[in-house]
Each structure stands twice: as C-alpha cells, then as structure tokens.
C-alpha cells in the first residue's frame, strides 16, 4: 500500500484527524426527513420467507427470491413458491449468507442466473460470484452446472459483504459491489477487491478496457474504490450507474459511480466512528468523490431500483431504496446531469431489504425478517 495512504489510515484509526464536521458543498443531507405513514399506493402481502435477501424478475414475470440462510425460490406473482435445488454451501450468520440473484441479460435464450454468497474458506469466509443454469423439468427446479467465476481477495471474517449484481445496459458486462468486510483499510488497497465496485466480463474474466486493466490482477477489475458497505447498485434509464452504501455512525451515501474514481472510505465520511471519534468530511479531500446524497442520521440503505413502469407515471425515472434501520421505502428524484434528492420517505413498519419493479410497473419489496413478507405496491389506498 502506498506510504501516504498508510499514514492517513494510521491517523484515522488513532482518532487524531479532528477536522471540522461541515459537509461538502454539493452534497445533500436527507437524514432529518420523517417517514410518512400516508401511502400513495396499496400494499398487498403476496408470500412470506425466512430472512429474504433479494428479488429478481424473470422475463415471464415470475420472481427469484433468495433467503440468507441458503435457499432460493421461484415465485409466481400470486405467491406460489417452488424451492430450487442445487444451491452452493453458504456461510450464513450476521450479515453473511446467500445474497443477490440476477438472471443473465440473455436469460430467455441461455437460462443462466448469477448469484452471490458468502462461502466458507480457509481464511474465514469469502464473497463469491457464481453462474448456473436454471433447469425446470417435471415440475422440479434445480441449478445445473454451477461454477464460481469470481472470488473476493483476501478472505475475511466480518460482515458487510456487499454482493450486488448489476448488468450494463448493453448486457455485455457485469458490475459487482464488494463490501469492506469490516476491514476499512481494504477499501483503499488496490490489491484487495474488498470495498470496491468491480467490472467483469459475463464469464468473470477482466475486460481489457477497464480503467486499470494494464496493471493486472485485482487492480485490473476495479471500476471504483473507497466503498464501505454497498447494498444498492443499479443503472438508471439514462445509462448512468448509481450505488448506495451504509456509512458508519451517520453518513449513508448515494453515489454516482464513475470509472476510476475513489469514493473515500475510510479516509473521509459524513459520519463518525462508532466509538464517537470523528472522521474527516468529504469537503476536506476534494480529490475524493463525494456522495450526491447522504443521510445523517442513517437509514441503512439496502436494495436500489429505478422506475420505468406505467402504473405510477409520476415516478418515471425515480429510484427507490429500501431502508433497513429506517423501516421505510425512499424515493429519489434526479435533477440535471448529476443532482439528486430524497423526494419521499414512506414508513413501511418493517426493515426493507430489497426493491424491484415488474414489467407492469408494480413495485415489489421484501422485509428483512424471519417471517419477512413479499409485498406488491400498486396504485390506490
């Protein structure tokens, strides 16, 4: 690791960088907003799961839903669940387990799905990305030819795995969020894949046009770095990539992700350490990319989805974020080329883990609970 980064990190962990607590000028702090109990939509409970983690829609309108403990289900819009066999062994506990699921951009032709999970390893556990074929025969479902195509480096033992999959709009590349696994220094280590957004080919290999492709190894896969706990990653209708991540004690972030940039964690944040020691604010380091929106106090942002449906035309182009600690659904409105603000926050009475939009424009949520509900939001009250 570069000597300057080592010095800065040492000072950070010693709590000696006692810089002002003002925020960067262009950032928008949305933490003070109260969630509204009045909903401009009707909420219908469709099914229940044991600690569900992710929702993904197939082209025919059915859903894939993961459970953190290691189970995967195919679910109809009416809530009929069929368990899928052939899942890999996962290390479940705390924040770790079976995470995201995403159908291939050409699923209708190849039947492939991508999934992320934390697997046991000699070093504790590791975030893995696998690819498999969804096989449906005689009323039964299983994952065939499952193969791990990427693993995080190094292995770790903490939570904050990230693990969100987003495909480029042209379907040619896969973007993957990797959390810092509670090892903050890893987010600034270019030879570690922790605390990064990675850009991969669909087979897990490295694209030759990545920002640092010429450097080889982990560095060649990095699209952006300096991330803490990225649980939201999605492309907007205009093709820009957005990410949300959890801050420490304060400072949850919504970031516009651009290639080759450093988003600052743990050198800067709009929150402080859990023990109360301050962290330098983004304004003190203009060389590091500041969030477009941040929350202080936190909402614990999770799933992120953009709206392009017909049922709620007034929300075209908005983004929706599930709030875990905030127990809310948050709507983000966008302004100009790079501006954004929190437009609405609705109290859902439960921790919201993921958000998805179906082909008709209904919004779907899952609750982070041992008896978590799959919810469908449609116009009406």
Residue identified by tokens 């100009």 is: 336
Mean per-residue pLDDT for 352-363?
Answer: 97
Closest CA to 54 of 332, 290, 356, 292: 356
**What pLDDT does residue 26 have?**
62
Mean per-residue pLDDT for 234-253?
Answer: 97
Mean per-residue pLDDT for 9-33?
Answer: 48
> Is the predicted pLDDT of residue 235 greater than 60, yes or no?
yes
CATH of range 3-378; options 3.40.50.620, 3.40.50.300, 2.120.10.30, 1.20.210.10: 2.120.10.30
The token pair at 375 is 């919810």
> Is the predicted pLDDT of residue 34 greater than 90, yes or no?
no
> Is the predicted pLDDT of residue 65 greater than 60, yes or no?
yes
**What pLDDT does residue 234 have?**
98
> Is the predicted pLDDT of residue 333 greater than 60, yes or no?
yes
Q: How do the domains of the chain map onto residue ranges?
A: 3-378
Share of the chain above pLDDT 70, in %: 93
> Is the predicted pLDDT of residue 8 greater than 80, yes or no?
no
> Is the predicted pLDDT of residue 16 greater than 70, yes or no?
no
> Is the predicted pLDDT of residue 106 greater than 90, yes or no?
yes
Task: Tell me the C-alpha distance between 181 and 229, whole Å.
Answer: 8
Q: What is the pTM of this model?
A: 0.92
H helices present in the chain, as ranges: 3-14, 107-110, 217-221
Residue identified by tokens 């950070």 is: 12
> Is the predicted pLDDT of residue 30 greater than 50, yes or no?
yes
> Is the predicted pLDDT of residue 144 greater than 80, yes or no?
yes
What's the mean pLDDT when you consider all of the chain? 92
Mean per-residue pLDDT for 126-150?
Answer: 96
Taking CA atoms, 192 is separated from 32, 180, 213, 288, in Å, by: 35, 9, 15, 19
Taking CA atoms, 126 is separated from 118, 131, 191, in Å, by: 5, 16, 16
């Amino acid at each position: 690791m570069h000597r300057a980064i080592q010095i800065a990190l040492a000072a950070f962990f010693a709590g000696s960088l006692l810089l002002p607590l003002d925020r960067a000028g262009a950032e928008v702090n949305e933490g003070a907003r109260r969630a509204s109990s009045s909903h401009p939509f009707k909420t219908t409970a469709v099914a229940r799961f044991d600690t569900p983690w992710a929702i993904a829609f197939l082209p025919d309108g059915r859903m894939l839903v993961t459970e953190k403990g290691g189970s995967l289900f195919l679910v109809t819009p009416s809530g009929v669940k069929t368990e899928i066999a052939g899942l890999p062994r996962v290390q479940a506990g705390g924040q770790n387990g079976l995470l995201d699921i995403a159908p291939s951009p050409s699923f209708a032709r190849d039947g492939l799905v991508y999934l992320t999970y934390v697997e046991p390893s000699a070093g504790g556990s590791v975030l893995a990305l696998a690819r498999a074929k969804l096989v449906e025969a005689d009323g039964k479902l299983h994952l065939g030819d499952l193969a791990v195509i990427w693993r995080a480096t190094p292995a770790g033992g903490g939570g904050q795995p990230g693990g969100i999959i987003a495909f480029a709009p042209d379907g040619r590349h896969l973007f993957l969020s990797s959390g810092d696994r509670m090892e903050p220094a890893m987010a600034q280590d270019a030879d570690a894949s922790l605390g990064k957004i990675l850009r991969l080919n669909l087979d897990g290999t490295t694209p030759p046009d990545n920002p640092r492709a010429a450097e080889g190894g982990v560095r060649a896969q990095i699209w952006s770095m300096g991330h803490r706990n990225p649980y939201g990653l999605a492309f907007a209708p205009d093709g820009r990539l957005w990410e949300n991540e959890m801050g420490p004690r304060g400072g949850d972030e919504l970031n516009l992700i651009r290639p080759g940039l450093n988003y600052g964690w743990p050198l800067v944040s709009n929150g402080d350490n859990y023990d109360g020691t301050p962290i330098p604010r983004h304004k003190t380091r203009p060389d590091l990319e500041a969030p477009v929106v941040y929350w202080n106090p936190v909402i614990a942002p999770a799933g992120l989805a953009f709206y392009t449906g017909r049922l709620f035309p007034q929300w075209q182009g908005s983004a929706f974020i599930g709030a875990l600690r905030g127990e809310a659904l948050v709507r983000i409105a966008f302004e100009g080329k790079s501006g954004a603000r929190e437009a609405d926050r609705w109290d859902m009475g439960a921790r919201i883990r993921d958000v998805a939009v179906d082909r008709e424009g209904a919004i779907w949520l899952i609750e982070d609970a041992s008896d978590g509900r799959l919810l469908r939001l449609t116009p009406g009250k």
